[in-house]
């Protein structure tokens, strides 16, 4: 079953939650809607579910006869007065009599889906006797038992411990690989989106910033916002001079055809794309080593650019560290291997994502 959204707009009072969002999701895809709070991602999901109506635009779901939608709520929304078994059976029991399974049929089907989520033993329990991760799996079982053609999940692992959420998101990926249900999940956790999804739709202020595979979104961010929101990033501000980005006395060579000569611009580069050297080379920024964190697979070197005291972080392999013998207080030359330049218009509030 595929989903087509055309120019969806949704206002809550004066706040624009969604601003002409168009999106096509083909059958069988697992899509992440990624964005900060207030970006409109949950509203978009609720419109897909039919829980919210758009002010303008059209949401079309096409394919197979009856369009059943499974929805998993952020806080599970389990029926607290029912056992786990009754919770899962609910969607089967409320069907019109002629479509309803027999009592034994319902029992078998519920048990089967509880086994699938590894909670075969939990049928007689009440929801408040289960842990967060178990409740979330009950919520998934309850959504899956009605054999939905689309599965929608709102921050499915948001309220769980780090380890449990890691396990559950792998489990969700496996489940999707087995069932092939068209699935859309909302998250503000870029790691979760990158690990689980086939495709990531990045939302900000009610608009789509970028739409692509995890690799595309991570490696070719389409905007400064996406750069900042996905993964760690350094930002260096400067001005376009002779097609290069001038920062104080130094200049970074950039490739851009959109930025006018003389405009304010900012370069974005990942910490692992910053090469630290001891000798001055063309296009490298002189910087002071502030601090070195050695724990982990690579050393995190914190630098302060000499010209304007911009803070940068470089990831240096242990091998390189051994060769360079870096020490705090040393002056080094930081050479970007790869960077992207965007107009320097990022509002200070958004700049919070810069690490």
User: 3-state SS of the chain: helix, strand, coil percent to 5?
Assistant: 30, 35, 35
- The smaller minimum CB distance to another protein, of residues 147 and 198, is found at 147
Q: Interface with another protein by CB under 8 A: which range of 78-86, 206-214, 280-288, 312-320?
A: 78-86
How many angstroms separate the CA atoms of 177 and 9, rounded? 32
- The smaller minimum CB distance to another protein, of residues 130 and 287, is found at 130
CB of 79 to another protein, least distance (A): 6
- Total residues interacting with another protein, rule: CB under 8 A: 22
CB of 101 to another protein, least distance (A): 13
| Contact pattern for another protein over residues 97 through 136, marking x by CB under 8 A | -------------------------------x--------
Residues 206 to 265: which contact another protein by CB under 8 A?
none
Q: Interface with another protein by CB under 8 A: which range of 33-41, 90-98, 170-178, 347-355?
A: 90-98
3-state secondary structure 45-101: HHHHHCCCCCCEEEEEEECCCCCCEEEECCCCCCCCCCCHHHHHHHHHHCCCHHHCC
Q: What's CA 223's distance to the chain center, in Å? A: 15
- The smaller minimum CB distance to another protein, of residues 75 and 220, is found at 75
Q: Is the four-CA dihedral 140, 143, 148, 154 of positive or negative sign?
A: negative
**Which tokens belong to 147?**
């054999």
CB of 18 to another protein, least distance (A): 19
Q: Which of 81, 155, 144, 77 is nearest to 115 (CA)?
A: 144
User: Does residue number 12 form part of the binding site for another protein (CB under 8 A)?
Assistant: no
Q: Is 242 exposed, middle or buried (0-12, 13-18, 19+ CB in 10 A)?
A: exposed
CB of 59 to another protein, least distance (A): 15
- The smaller minimum CB distance to another protein, of residues 68 and 205, is found at 68
Among 37, 81, 319, 349, interactor with another protein by CB under 8 A: 81
| Contact pattern for another protein over residues 264 through 293, marking x by CB under 8 A | ------------------------------
User: Does residue number 75 form part of the binding site for another protein (CB under 8 A)?
Assistant: yes
State how beta strands 69-72 and 150-154 pair.
Answer: parallel
Query: Is 304 in a helix, a strand, or coil?
Result: strand
- The smaller minimum CB distance to another protein, of residues 94 and 281, is found at 94
User: Does residue number 79 form part of the binding site for another protein (CB under 8 A)?
Assistant: yes
User: Does residue number 44 form part of the binding site for another protein (CB under 8 A)?
Assistant: no
- C-alpha distance from residue 55 to each of 8, 10, 19, 60 (Å): 7, 5, 10, 15
Q: Is the four-CA dihedral 180, 48, 35, 224 of positive or negative sign?
A: positive
List of residues 6+ apart from 69 with CB closer than 8 A: 48, 49, 50, 61, 148, 149, 150, 151, 152
Q: Give the chain's length.
A: 355
- The smaller minimum CB distance to another protein, of residues 130 and 276, is found at 130
CB of 310 to another protein, least distance (A): 45
Secondary structure letter of residue 352 according to DSSP: G
First to last CA, the chain: 40
How many angstroms separate the CA atoms of 327 and 3, rounded? 55
Among 36, 57, 73, 164, interactor with another protein by CB under 8 A: 73
Among 143, 259, 285, 289, interactor with another protein by CB under 8 A: 143
CB of 112 to another protein, least distance (A): 17
Among 51, 56, 278, 351, interactor with another protein by CB under 8 A: 51
User: Does residue number 146 form part of the binding site for another protein (CB under 8 A)?
Assistant: yes
User: Does residue number 53 form part of the binding site for another protein (CB under 8 A)?
Assistant: no
Residues lying near another protein in the complex (CB under 8 A): 49, 51, 68-71, 73, 75, 77-82, 90-91, 94-95, 128, 142-143, 146
């Amino acid at each position: 079953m595929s989903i087509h959204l055309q120019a969806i707009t949704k206002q809550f009072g004066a706040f624009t939650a969604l601003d002409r969002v168009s999106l096509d999701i083909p059958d069988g895809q697992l899509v992440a809607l990624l964005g900060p709070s207030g970006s409109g991602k949950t509203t978009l999901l609720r419109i897909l579910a039919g829980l919210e109506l758009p002010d303008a635009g059209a949401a079309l779901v096409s394919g197979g006869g009856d369009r059943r939608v499974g929805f998993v709520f952020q806080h599970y929304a389990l029926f607290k007065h029912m056992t786990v078994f009754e919770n899962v059976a609910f969607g089967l029991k409320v069907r019109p009599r002629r479509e309803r399974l027999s009592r034994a049929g319902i029992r078998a089907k519920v048990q089967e889906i509880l086994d699938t989520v590894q909670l075969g033993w939990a049928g007689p329990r009440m929801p408040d006797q289960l842990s967060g991760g178990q409740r979330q799996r009950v919520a998934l079982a309850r959504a899956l038992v009605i054999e939905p053609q689309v599965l929608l999940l709102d921050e499915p692992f948001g309220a769980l411990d780090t380890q449990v959420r890691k396990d559950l998101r792998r489990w969700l990926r496996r489940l999707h690989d087995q069932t092939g249900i068209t699935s859309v999940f909302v998250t503000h956790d870029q790691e979760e989106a990158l690990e689980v999804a086939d495709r990531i739709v990045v939302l900000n202020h009610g608009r789509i910033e970028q739409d692509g595979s995890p690799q595309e979104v991570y490696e070719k961010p389409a905007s400064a916002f996406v750069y900042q929101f996905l993964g760690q990033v350094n930002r260096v501000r400067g001005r376009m001079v002779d097609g290069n980005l001038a920062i104080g006395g130094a200049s970074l060579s950039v490739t851009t055809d959109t930025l006018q000569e003389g405009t304010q611009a900012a370069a974005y580069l990942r910490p692992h794309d910053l090469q630290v050297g001891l000798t001055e080379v063309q296009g490298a920024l002189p910087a002071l080593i502030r601090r070195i964190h050695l724990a982990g697979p690579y050393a995190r070197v914190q630098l302060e650019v000499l010209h304007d005291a911009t803070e940068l972080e470089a990831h240096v392999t242990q091998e390189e560290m051994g060769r360079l013998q870096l020490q705090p207080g040393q002056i080094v030359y930081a050479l970007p291997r790869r960077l992207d330049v965007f107009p320097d218009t990022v509002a200070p509030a958004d700049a919070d994502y810069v690490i």
